[in-house]
């Protein structure tokens, strides 16, 4: 039997004690670490884990607000909401978003071209808010989704309200259209006021009055189980509907003008001269805003964009045309006011006007013989206005036309209006790098050359003539109906121009000349209206080609003259002013005046009752 030495026993004892101490240290360390982690979880991270726990059982869903209606001046609904079924996703409930989107594309439930916008919206969305994938599901698409629903956790079909335009194309350029909110839209709005499920205005009234129309969303807190099924409704904050807009437009006159312009390119604008309210706002060809609001395909939208007739183009405010003879009443007024025209004097017209050192004459459309200023307006004598323009000078002409708001924005309450062009030597030098010549002045005297005006500008200028110097800012919104109080806030008229330095006798001469256009033999629109028709008007043509260059050749339709007409009625107390342009209509008499008659027959017939 072996005995351990005292030294060996001491060594083993020391080793044993060291192991005990090490074990105690490890145990203490683990206990401290556990306590620290517990403190971290209970104190510092408790809110986070409480939120995670709550989110497993409580969900807050945003509820989109109902968009306000749009009505005409007689409160006929021209934009409303209809129920549709749309496809929505809650990203937090989707395991693999990319794979899910790809499957949806393969099942033709979403458009490939919309994936980028969908992903952008997912990145910026609020927790547990739905993302719209398809704004209008067809019956076939709903059946496809139902058959494959098990593949699409976090994706569901939801009933929603979608914008509907009962008059289809008739009001399209005035109202505009709505669409699904895009990443670009989010950059221009307060994102907290949008759920991502509603539609947003894209153009015209729908866009420019978006803050009034869209309302304020509500929300719902619900208790859900682990599968996301709603077990109990906990709390509900109701949404606030958007306000209704009452427009200045007259649905009956609008439809009359639109139908009269069908199959033609151009525009019709009608304004109440007493307050600037726009009664008619037509641009043709038009488009059906329902197609765009309910989710047009990429190819369909591209087809609209590339259509050679430009149906998306708002000709009423952005189409710029040579005004032609429609500005002759203003040129005549300038000549009278400046003392260059004697209202009793006859001026010769042999069908051509000659300038010194010019090899070719400036031709008239026919030989008129001796005419005074009233007869020159009545018969649209070019030679009379060539001579008047040279006598007045381009500076006076330019300044005078701008008094009638030509060359200036009117301030209409929708965006993208064009200002037109009232040329002068400075303009030509700056824009074209060319000098001004007397021939330029001659052409401007009949509204040709570089002069351009929009149909809206011509309508405003006509209200100034009708009112003998005064006009109001043209506007489309007449009133705002508050969704909560149901009260209507009217939009007051704003004075745009007030010309007070023109002799009243000179205004009367202009009115007489424009009345003679309609009601006296030799007038350029005589015979197009009944006898003694209560209308003062002026026809016009915008020349788009050189007669010499096309001599002996058939003129292509797209190079034929535009036909124009302006007018106001009744004569003694004007209540409507019109401007009409028919692109490539050849003549204001044959193309535009008949449209004015159809509109005014309806308007004046109503005035009798």
Say what the pLDDT of residue 583 is: 96
pLDDT tops 90 at residue 340: yes
Average pLDDT of the chain, as a whole number: 90
Euclidean distance between CA atoms 606 and 609, whole angstroms: 5
Residue 157 sits at φ, ψ, to 5 deg, of -95, 130
Tokens of 169: 């194309």
Domain ranges of the chain: 59-224+231-247, 251-608
Angle at 112 between CA 106 and CA 115, to 5 degrees: 115
Q: Find the catalytic residue in 62, 162, 325, 398.
A: 325
**For residue 455, is pLDDT > 80?**
yes
The CATH superfamily assigned to 59-224+231-247 is: Penicillin-binding protein 2a (Domain 2) (3.90.1310.10)
CA atoms within 13 A on the CB side of 411: 12
Mean pLDDT for 298-327 is 95
pLDDT tens figures, 371-397:
999 999 999 999 999 999 999 999 999
49 pLDDT band, cuts 50/70/90, is: low
**What gap in Å lies between CA 233 and CA 58, rounded to an integer?**
10
pLDDT in tens, 3-39: 556 666 677 677 777 778 888 888 888 888 888 877 7
Output the DSSP codes for 21-42: HHHHHHHHHHHHHHHHHHHIII
Candidate from 90-104, 116-130, 542-556 with smallest mean pLDDT = 542-556
pLDDT score for 137: 86
Lowest-confidence region among 222-226, 266-270, 578-582: 222-226
| Domains 59-224+231-247 and 251-608 fall in the same CATH topology | no
Among the listed residues 487, 409, 462, 420, the one whose alpha carbon sits nearest the alpha carbon of residue 280:
462
From CA 32, how far away is CA 38, in angstroms rounded? Answer: 10
Q: Which of 342, 308, 388, 289 is nearest to 78 (CA)?
A: 289
Question: Which ranges of 533-592 does DSSP label H, i.e. alpha helix?
Answer: 547-550
Residue 127 has pLDDT above 70, yes or no: no
Give tens-digit pLDDT for 493-508. Answer: 999 999 999 999 999 9
CB 412 within 8 A of CB 439: no
pLDDT band of 160, cuts 50, 70, 90: confident
Task: Answer yes or no: 325 catalytic.
Answer: yes
Residue that is written with structure tokens 């042999």 in the block: 350
Residue 424's contacts (CB-CB under 8 Å, 6 or more residues apart) are 394, 395, 398, 436
Pick one of 1.10.1740.10, 3.30.465.10, 3.30.1390.20, 3.40.710.10 as the CATH number of 251-608.
Answer: 3.40.710.10
Burial 17-46 (b: 16+ CB within 10 A, else e): eeeeeeeeeeeeeeeeeeeeeeeeeeeeee
């Amino acid at each position: 039997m072996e005995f351990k030495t005292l030294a060996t026993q001491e060594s083993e004892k020391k080793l044993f004690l060291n192991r005990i101490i090490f074990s105690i240290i490890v145990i203490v360390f683990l206990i401290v670490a556990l306590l620290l982690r517990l403190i971290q979880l209970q104190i510092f991270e408790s809110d986070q884990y409480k939120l995670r726990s709550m989110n497993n059982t409580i969900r807050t869903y945003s509820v989109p607000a109902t968009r306000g209606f749009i009505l005409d001046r007689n409160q006929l609904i021209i934009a409303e909401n209809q129920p549709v079924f749309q496809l929505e996703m809650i990203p937090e409930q989707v395991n693999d978003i990319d794979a899910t989107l790809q499957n949806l594309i393969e099942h033709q439930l979403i458009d490939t071209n919309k994936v980028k916008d969908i992903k952008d919206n997912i990145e910026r969305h609020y927790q547990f808010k739905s993302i719209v994938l398809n704004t209008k599901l067809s019956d076939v698409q709903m059946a496809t989704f139902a058959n494959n629903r098990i593949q699409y956790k976090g994706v569901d079909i939801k009933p929603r309200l979608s914008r509907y335009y009962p008059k289809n194309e008739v009001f399209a350029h005035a109202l505009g259209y709505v669409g699904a909110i895009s990443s670009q839209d989010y950059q221009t709005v307060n994102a907290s006021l949008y759920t991502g499920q509603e539609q947003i205005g894209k153009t015209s009234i729908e866009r420019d009055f978006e803050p009034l129309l869209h309302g304020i969303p509500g929300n719902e807190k619900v208790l859900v189980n682990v599968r996301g099924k709603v077990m109990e409704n906990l709390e509900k904050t109701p949404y606030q509907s958007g306000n209704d807009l009452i427009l200045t437009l007259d649905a009956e006159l609008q439809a009359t003008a639109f139908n009269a312009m069908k199959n033609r390119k151009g525009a019709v604008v009608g304004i109440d001269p007493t307050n600037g309210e726009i009664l008619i706002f037509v641009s043709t060809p038009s488009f059906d805003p329902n197609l765009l609001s309910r989710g047009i395909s990429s190819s369909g939208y591209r087809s609209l964009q590339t259509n050679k007739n430009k149906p998306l183009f708002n000709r009423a405010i952005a189409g710029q045309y040579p005004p032609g003879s429609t500005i002759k009443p203003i040129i005549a007024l300038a000549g009278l006011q400046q003392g260059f025209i004697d209202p009793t004097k006859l001026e010769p017209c042999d069908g051509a006007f000659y300038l010194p050192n010019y090899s070719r004459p400036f031709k008239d459309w026919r030989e008129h013989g001796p005419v005074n200023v009233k007869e020159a307006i009545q018969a649209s004598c070019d030679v009379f206005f060539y001579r008047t323009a040279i006598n007045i000078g381009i500076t006076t002409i330019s300044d005078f036309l701008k008094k009638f708001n030509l060359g200036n924005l009117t301030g209409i309450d929708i965006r993208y209006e064009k200002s037109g062009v009232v040329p002068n030597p400075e303009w030509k030098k700056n824009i074209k790098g060319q000098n001004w010549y007397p021939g330029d002045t001659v052409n401007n005297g009949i509204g040709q050359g570089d002069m351009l005006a929009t149909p809206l500008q011509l309508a405003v200028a006509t209200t100034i003539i009708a009112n003998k110097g005064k006009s109001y800012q043209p506007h489309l919104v007449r009133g705002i109906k508050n969704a909560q109080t149901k009260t209507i806030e009217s939009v007051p008229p704003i004075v745009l121009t007030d010309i007070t330095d023109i002799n009243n006798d000179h205004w009367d001469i202009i009115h007489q000349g424009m009345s003679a256009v309609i009601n006296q033999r030799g007038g350029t629109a005589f015979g197009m209206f009944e006898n003694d028709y209560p209308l003062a008007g002026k026809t016009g043509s915008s020349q788009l080609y050189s007669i010499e260059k096309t001599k002996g050749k058939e003129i292509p339709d797209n190079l034929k003259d535009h036909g124009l007409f302006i007018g106001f009625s009744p004569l003694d107390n004007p209540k409507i002013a019109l401007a009409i342009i028919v692109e490539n209509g050849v003549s204001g008499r044959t193309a535009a005046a008949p449209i004015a008659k159809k509109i005014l027959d309806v308007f004046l017939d109503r005035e009798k009752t």
